[in-house]
Structure 1
């Protein structure tokens, strides 16, 4: 197992260094052509590798670097993730064009600046559009009916925000948009299906994001579950404590009977299956529940919709996928999950997967949007 882990790490590093070297060489050729004698290869490669490895440097040095330095490195590195994907998609096409132009006896002095500036313009347009998609949340509305009684309730309006990823990249500015848009809905209930923070709890505390998040309002309360990033960060007790301080209930394999009318089931993230304590099966969490009443399940990763349906869940709310966040990654998430975004009816189960409010890595979205879900649930009278 250790050897397999070492081989996997080495393979990932080889891919990272290989791809970055490929991008760096193309950028070097273009800059050398444009800057002429002003271009210094040694300085260029030092700056390039500092930028390319800045996220890794921030992660390795998080315990020794000042918070501000670590944050700057992480921001630079996050944007560089987008550059890596753009380079992976654009540069092979650029090389193909170079090959065709070379066979056509076109001088490199002609095609290098043209292709270089064309790639630069495409990347700039993608970055601007992607930034707009990530920073301008939309409201997705779903209207469903559960053929069960929930006391004297005719309907319930629920605000759902998954994958907020609060941390060094997504901070108070974006969080305030969430607070404003959710409170404008006047929801009865707020549900947060995982990845509230982005790995590390320290930026949440350092930038006092709890004060902003405390402004979320719903008469029936706010409930959250753990996502894989809470497990990656390893600060789960501190995260739960921070949420408790601002009135958010983190459900870890727990079932809440809300006003004796409706059940909210909060599952630990699937990542818990790799820990000593594991996580309970959904059927076990629903033992003793009155299945004549509505059951809403929060499960960060949208796996096993069939098992949720068989266990008697009426609604399952998830996130995690980001819908790939940047196209064409949605082609991958679409293969990995039965439902990677949107709505699916599975037997009596209404499954909804959000593309998320925040972002992981670059605050860039292409082919997806930052979103908040407004879910209206109608009950049998």
Structure 2
């Protein structure tokens, strides 16, 4: 590890602990002012446990309660960064320009913050576990044997594991079966790093209930790579007829060709041009690429439809402003000449089981072909 990387790690560690101190100090001031609670050690220990609960959860593995606390704490951190400075500023301004007592101002500022956090977490949890179906209608100027239209259902970023568990998987299965798709596409981050919870909870048995006449296909996302158990996970998917494409092409009998890319995480993944070199360009070309990069390259190589995920649309507002800046298409639909790009905000979530500014979603794509 280089000296620069070591210094960056130290800097992040120090900044994070300063943030924990800032949050703990605010909580202590409010508790002391409102309830007369003056002890420091309970708050210090609580902040250390909460602050590193996500790390503890990664090491304890099977202790789900620690993983749950750690995941929610990540949401607390984000909105503490946004709300605590505002609360501090309001207290300062009101104290300076009104005759209200400091005790009264701090008390009500604390209660207001508490209500805000409860509202954010309640609404965010609802959005995370209450999926919607988003439909897009597109036209592809190519012919497909036996039909003029096709219903494709796409889901991404399920992050099945401890937090996005069997119950959430059952919701997805129910929604997809009701849509009665001709084809199902999963575009990466199906699991949250380690496939062990996915296997132990038998989530593969739930996914096996989804059947589509033209098949179910998948690509891997960055989190499958982080887990380091790709062969084991891919075998589970193949066992239930989910065909995983890793820089591979699947040509269907009806004139549709699926091109599945390895994730951008894989430094050895093939360029788009190499993948399409030997495909029939008269076929309808659908590309599965977890991260919505290289849309221009897909367009230049004759791809008709690119489906992606990864962005979560920021998952927690106002992070969507960041993803909108980074990606040409961070969520929803974009057409570039004859190529269509559709990016899902994802069915699951990473970290806190919260969504603000986005909602858990399944994507339905209704495709009209030339006569």
TM class by smaller structure: over 0.9
Number of aligned residues: 370
Instruction: Tell me the SS of whatever aligns to 2:17.
Output: helix
Q: Report the TM-score, using the length of structure 2 for normalisation.
A: 0.97
Find runs of 4+ consecutive structure 1 residues off by over 3 angstroms: none
**Shift, 1:152, TM fit:** 2.2
Matches within 5 A, 1:145-294: 145-273=139-267, 278-294=268-284
Q: For residue 56 of structure 2, what is the aligned residue in structure 1?
A: 57
Q: For residue 40 of structure 1, what is the aligned residue in structure 2?
A: 39
Q: For residue 69 of structure 2, what is the aligned residue in structure 1?
A: 76
Distance (Å, rounded) in 2 between the aligned partners of 1:328 and 1:216: 35
User: Which deviates the most, 75-84 or 240-249?
Assistant: 240-249
**Shift, 1:260, TM fit:** 4.6
Instruction: Tell me the SS of whatever aligns to 1:15.
Output: helix
Q: For residue 78 of structure 2, what is the aligned residue in structure 1?
A: 85
1:124 aligns to 2:125 (yes or no): no
Matches within 5 A, 1:307-322: 307-322=297-312
Cα deviation digits, residues 120-143 of structure 1 (max 9, x gap): 001111111111111110000011
- For structure 1, the 5+ residue unaligned runs are none
Q: For residue 365 of structure 1, what is the aligned residue in structure 2?
A: 355
Distance (Å, rounded) in 2 between the aligned partners of 1:17 and 1:129: 28
> Is the contact between residue 34 and residue 103 of structure 2 (CA under 8 Å) also seen in structure 1?
no
> Is the contact between residue 146 and residue 254 of structure 2 (CA under 8 Å) also seen in structure 1?
no
**Shift, 1:242, TM fit:** 1.4
Q: Report the TM-score, using the length of structure 1 for normalisation.
A: 0.94
Distance (Å, rounded) in 2 between the aligned partners of 1:194 and 1:18: 35
> Is the contact between residue 20 and residue 47 of structure 2 (CA under 8 Å) also seen in structure 1?
no
Q: CA RMSD in A?
A: 1.3
User: Which deviates the most, 16-25 or 337-346?
Assistant: 16-25
Instruction: Tell me the SS of whatever aligns to 2:266.
Output: helix
> Is the contact between residue 307 and residue 343 of structure 2 (CA under 8 Å) also seen in structure 1?
yes
Distance (Å, rounded) in 2 between the aligned partners of 1:188 and 1:16: 48
User: Which deviates the most, 287-296 or 43-52?
Assistant: 43-52
